[in-house]
Structure formats: structure tokens, C-alpha cells
Structure 1
Amino acid sequence: MSIPVVPAIVPGEVMHRRRIERADHFSYASLHWLVDVDDLPTVRIGRTRYDLDPADHLRGNGFRHDLDELLMEAGQQVLGNDTVLLFAQPRVAGKVFDPLSVLWVYDSRGDVRVMVLEVHNTYGERNAYVLPGAQQQHRVDKDFYVSPFNDLNGEYRVSWTLDDGALRVTVNLHRDGALVLAATVGGPLQPLTSTTMRRALRRVPGRSWRVPALIRWRGILLWARRLKVQRRPENGGNLSRPAETPSSTRP
């Protein structure tokens, strides 16, 4: 495995498919960047600025600082000289809503040693799932409230592919042995330039408000179909709380 060339733009698609209890499907064009967290790019098109801000991610204290905390909490080795790539939606004129961002930690050999899923809900809360190992399939218990139509029961099954040609991340929610929800995001990797950015923007007009509007609209449709609403817990996600140091890593 080798580290992809960055910065890259990923003009692709997000797909959601609900498989049980009022089956539902929707998809929309997406625009993500793949970047090195130590070299965050900025693109200006006319008067509009497109960029990535560390304050929008993890605990908001900087990628390496926050990743070191999360890795220690998970009993993993801290970053050192590892390369960290971020897959995320850029800000548009200072605004963004990004339901899922992904970070890959590459060691000195160019192998992935940790993958981190960063999940945001529409209540302003964040949660990280630290998935150690170079394998491209993971399982992790769901412990964060995302949708009002799914409680905290279940297991995420995560798979991904990433090379110089394309990127794809699939997150499937299973409960009691059944596939409840399937979600996929990804697309081809292209060099990030003002030209490729302009081309991608033609596919996603109004992107800064479109994603949360789509999510809320689908929620209204499911509610209208009398899908049961699940109560939101008060834990707020592990990125909304102060860092916790495991006893095994304390001095």
C-alpha cells in the first residue's frame, strides 16, 4: 500500500439505503477533499474561499493534538512522524456540515495503521470511532446518536478502498444479524486545483446548506410514514467531552 497523492478533490456521490421498517433510499452528488492534515489547502474562486479548518474536526484543538488524545484513549501508539490524511467536505465561505469525515494514519512504510471515523449529527455533536489495523474491513459497536430513527443498538461494519485512482467508504449498520442501513461515499481522485474545483461545483450548487436540508427533509418523510422516533441520549459523543486518559497510559 502507498500513500495517495494529495491534495486531491473527490467529486462523487453519497448513498443511503434503509433496509427495514419503511425501506427508503436517497443519494446526492458530493464534493470532498483528501488532504494531508499538515498541509491544508485553500482554494479561492471569485470571492468565495474553500478550505478546511481544524476547529471543525475532532475536539477542535488541532488534528495531531486531538488524534494523539484519541489514540492514547484507545490504547494505540501516538502519531510521531506518521502521515495523516483527511477525507472531508471543505468549508464554503466559512460554513460546512460534514456528516462523515475519515482520517487515515500511515506509518513510515506507507501502510495504514489506524483509521478514524468522525461522525457529526445535526445536533452539533461529534463522535470518533478509532479503528486500528491495516485491514480494510472493521466492526465496531454503535455508541453515538445520529438519526432519530435509530437507537444506539447495533454494530457498524466498515469497509474502504483508497488508492491514487479512487476512494470509497461504506458504513453498514447491522442489528440482530440484519442489515438496517447501508451508506456509501466516494468517487474518483483528481488533483485539487481551481479548475477541478469549478468543475465539481457545477454538480453540487448550494452545497453548504443542501446536505443538512436533504437530511432533514428525508427525516420529515420518514416521520410522515410513522417511523418510530428514538429518544436522543445526553452523552453528546466522545468528541464533545473532555479527553479521558486510560489508567494504563497514565504516568
Structure 2
Amino acid sequence: MNTKPAPGHGPPTPALYHCRIHHTRTTPLHHTFTHRTYLWLVDLDDLPRLPLPMRPLARFRARDHLGDPARRLRENLDHYLAAHGIDLTGGRILMLTHAHSLGHVFNPITLYWCRTHDGTPACTVAEVCNTYGERHCYLLRPDSDGRANQTKEFHVSPFFTIEGHYRMTLPEPGPDLTLTIHLEHATGRPLTATVRGTRHRATTTALLHAAVLHPLSTLAVTAHIRLQGIRLYLRGLPVQPRTPHRDDGSRPP
């Protein structure tokens, strides 16, 4: 694997970010947890090409993300953006995600930073998945600091209704990764999630180190989410009725 400089704009890719993910719930009970993992930052036009023995550790498959599994990831993003009136005319798209690793992947959120052909930031796409196997994409228009507001449209946690809106800060990653998502209700801010990470070159040695440091990383994400759900349920937090998901074009027709 060779890390390549950005073609005019943005960070070099591919890159690995060793991350600390922190969730704080404030109401109706207080609950916090922290999880450590690693994420990939990749260019959709230049996905990593791993040596054959390393490929089980990281695959980037269209079927694990939005759109038609028969198309390439880049094609699916372009198709989604075109449905919302956006044409990047070949501009760069960066994706921050967990890779499919050792037969498993689960991404609570995958982020795409999209630029036009001249490098101008066009939009950010937040692709959110829940443990019910559903997926939804939010098309965001962040300001120069990566800040955006978005009405909640998708049921994620079984302990929250679909009411509220998100206040997000999602700047394009650099040497450091700093992401914040607040869920806000009329009565306050019941949930805050943060991701903090440090960039490393995505060499074979770095990937092996990350895989050893965070074994079965994507399976651990799923297990961690379910464990926290069990803890909340045992503490008496009621499960909320789930709103059926409306297709937003992120699934194939």
C-alpha cells in the first residue's frame, strides 16, 4: 500500500485513524461509554490495493454502503448526489469508514466529503446505519468550520424517538480527526457523540499493528453497541416505538 498525496486538495490517502469514540447520554438517565477503534480514510477513485494475504483485513465493497451493490462505490455516490441536483464533475470524494474486515463490517456512520473538480467543497454525506439493518443518508451543507444542522429523519437508538435535530461538526480530517454530533430536543441535549483520532500512514505494518491493537474491530463495534443497549434496558430505560424507514434513494431501485 502506498499513501498518495492529495490531488490538489485535501489530505493524503489512504490513511488510518486510531480513534477514541465517546458517547454521553444525559436524560432520562446519565450514561457514558468510550470505545477505541480505527477508521480508514480513502479516496473513492483510488481505493487501497492491499497485498493478497492482507485483503481479509480490509475490503471496501459497494454492498456495505449506499446504493446498488453491482456498481462501484464512486458510482453510487455520484448517483445519490445527482438525485439531489449535485454534479461534482469528477471532483474528489473522501470516505471515512470501517473496512469490511475478517468477514464482518458494521458502520454506525460513514462520512463522505465531496469536492467539485476545482477542489471547492460541495457537500458532506453522512450515511447512518442502525442495528435493524436499515440505512439512511443525510446530505449536509456544512459551513467553513464543518458545522451543519439536520432534522432527525431516521430511527437509530431503540431508546430515542425520531424527534429532534442534529447539530454536527464534521470538518474534513487532517493530521487529527475531530467529529462531534449533538442530538437536540426542545427540552435540551440528550446525547452527544464525539470521535477523536490521529492520522497514520496506511502501510502494511500500520494495518497489522491496528488489527492487533483492535482485534475484530468491526465485530467489536456491534458487540459494544448491543452491550450498551442491554445495560440501558436493565437500568429501566424504555424501548421506543420504531418509525418505519422511508427510502431516501440510498438503496438500489
Deviation (angstroms), 1:207:
1.5
Report the counterpart of residue 59 of structure 2 in structure 1. Answer: 51
Displacement of 1:80: 1.3
1:99 aligned partner = 108
Runs of 4+ in structure 1 deviating by more than 4 angstroms, as ranges, are 44-47, 239-243
Query: 1:48 Cα deviation (Å)?
Result: 3.5
1:117 aligns with 2:112: no
CA shift, 1:202, in A, is 2.9
8 Å contact from structure 1 (residues 42, 50) kept in 2:
no
**Unaligned segments of structure 1, at least 5 residues:** 244-251
TM-score, normalization by structure 2: 0.87
Determine the C-alpha separation between the residues in 2 that align with 1:193 and 1:32: 14
Is the aligned partner of 1:21 residue 2:28? yes
What CA RMSD, in Å, does the superposition of the two structures yield over aligned residues?
Answer: 2.1
Q: Which has the higher strand share?
A: 1
Identify which range, 141-150 or 15-24, moves more after superposition: 15-24
Identity of paired residues, percent? 32
Q: Of 154, 168, 174, which aligns to 2:164?
A: 154
Q: SS of the residue aligned with 2:90? A: coil
Match of 2:203 in 1: 193
Contact 1:30 1:204 (C-alpha < 8 Å) held by counterparts: yes
What residue ranges of structure 2 are gaps of 5+ in the alignment? 1-7
Deviates more, 1:208-217 or 1:156-165: 156-165
Distance apart, 1:121 and its partner CA: 0.5
C-alpha separation in 2, matches of 1:159 and 1:47: 33
Partner of 1:249: none
Q: How many residues align?
A: 242
TM-score (norm 1): 0.88
Cα deviation, residue 237, structure 1: 5.0
Q: Distance in 2 between matches of 1:163 and 1:96?
A: 22
Deviations 1:171-205 (A, max 9, x none): 11001051111111231111111111122223312
Cα distance in 2, alignment partners of residues 96 and 155 from structure 1? 27
Distance 2:121 2:27 in 1: 34
| Aligned: 1:132 with 2:141 | yes
> Shift of residue 22 of structure 1?
1.2
